[in-house]
Amino acid sequence: MKKTKIITTLGPSTDTKDKIEALYKSGANVVRFNYSHTNYDYFSKIIDTVKELNKEGKTNLGILTDTKGPEIRTKSVEEKISLEKDEEFFLSNTLNESKISDDSKKMIICDYDYIVSDLEVGRIVDIDTGLLKAEIIAKDNEKLTCKALNKHLIGSKRHLNLPGTIIKLPGITDSDKEDIKFAVSKGTDFIALSFVRNKENILELREFLKEINAPKGIQIISKIENSEALSNLDDIIEYSDGIMIARGDLGAEVEYEALPVIQDDIAQRCKIAGKFFIIATQMLESMIENPIPTRAEVTDIYNAVVQEADCTMLSGESAAGKYPIEAVKTMAKVLRYTESALPYTHEHFEKDLGEETEIKKQLVKNAIYTAENIGAKNIIVFSLKMTKLISAFRSNINTYAFTFSDEVRKKMTILFGTKTFQIEKGSNEENLKKALEVLKQKNLLVQGDRIVAITEIEKEDQVVPSMQIIEIK
């Protein structure tokens, strides 16, 4: 069983029923919808297709909504703006555009009202996700004068990053709220919140989900994309259900040589806190055009497994690439091979979760060590909370999670090292019997196999976790 999950972005290359089923069979676990490119009618049809496939039992795919977020973009232009290295140009915003009479230099206009007031001479501005770096060399009330540090061609609606600047933007925009309402109405399982800067952004989203009467249990994933988020990282991890290391915009905010170290630091902090995390952006970028990956991309996936990521993600590769199925197969192949060569040690999940949860956490850890020491074939579990704890410890033994609702089942699709099944709820004894029958029917258990089962017994208004070793007769 592949332990590291794969998130695939759906788009023109993968928007049919056959393609989505093929993605799942190739190794996809969660499908992502990128709301930076929103078309509700289009998304609605694809989501309905995913739900239909899930209902038919042909797939078991979680649905992830990725918000646009409070980004800064340049203005639409009729012709691209060509800048040479060391060429000076003006940078301003739409509020000031009509006030600027000086046409001695090329002008780039953005949609951030505070671009002039927030930045000082000597600061660096990244345009087009860092493909153009520019230094501010002068400013007045209406505009900044910048010097291009490299040659580049600027098109319409390009990202603009302000490394080290605390920007004056809301955590969730009005556009995001409309997108989230739509996504919730279509049954999203996860919301990836873009450009998170602090814990208040996450609390704002949780409050908004309450306001719109969203189903409980939607998982919030904070995307780490800017310097302010790095400064507030521990708080963001604590208040989030999971973390996405979004290396595109983050890579424009920090020096490129620092990015691998930052990625590893975020990964380690997530593991200590027991939170799932995703490594994203350009993992198989070359496969947008080519049928095979570069050696560097293969090594990137390898490193994600070494860092014990819960998920790796494909963006343009699966949404608009020429080889989307091949990209998923390639990623799954590298993940499986690397996992087989790297034993997991369960050392990182150190955070104290409070007395009640800490008892469950220690029981889970003991269950994993017991399963490994007795050569157990599988670990089986019956709740989302216990499944999250097992996943956080990175068991070498396959974990099969049994749940009683489709909603909970899909929430588990993102968790490391787990495969989920839905059964009808009965007593603990009945649930265990049904689980064993399912595994036998799927040839995942045979006579003589040992398993470790974790159940929760209701006793005197308390839920008491228990562990038992079972040998299949």
CATH of the domain at 120: 2.40.33.10
pLDDT of residue 383: 87
Asked whether residue 349 is assigned to any structural domain, the reply reads no
- Is the pLDDT confidence value at 164 over 90? no
What pLDDT, in 10s, does the model give residues 79-107?
Answer: 999 999 999 999 999 999 999 998 899 99
pLDDT of residue 38: 75
User: Mean pLDDT over all residues of the chain?
Assistant: 93
Strand partners of residue 313: 7
Whether 88 and 138 share a structural domain: yes
Q: What one-character DSSP code corresponds to residue 154?
A: E
224: Cα separation from own chain's centroid:
10
Q: Which residues contact 229 (CB under 8 A, 6 or more apart)?
A: 195, 196, 197, 198, 222, 236
The boundaries of the domain holding residue 454 are 355-471
Whether 260 and 404 share a structural domain: no
Asked whether residue 76 is assigned to any structural domain, the reply reads no
Longest CA pairwise span in the chain (Å): 86
- Return the closest-CA partner of residue 158 out of 50, 75, 249: 75
Strand partners of residue 73: 159
pLDDT of residue 267: 97
Last residue of a domain, one of 161, 189, 213: 161
Last residue of a domain, one of 111, 132, 161: 161
Asked whether residue 345 is assigned to any structural domain, the reply reads no
Whether 26 and 50 share a structural domain: yes
* Range with lowest mean pLDDT among 34-38, 390-394, 447-451: 34-38
Tally of domains within the chain: 3
- Is the pLDDT confidence value at 167 over 90? no
- Please give the model's pTM, rounded to 2 decimal places: 0.91
Whether 244 and 380 share a structural domain: no
Whether 417 and 270 share a structural domain: no
Whether 288 and 431 share a structural domain: no
Count the neighbouring beta carbons within 10 Å of the beta carbon of residue 308.
Answer: 22
- Could you give the CA distance from residue 338 to residue 300 in angstroms, rounded to a whole number? 11
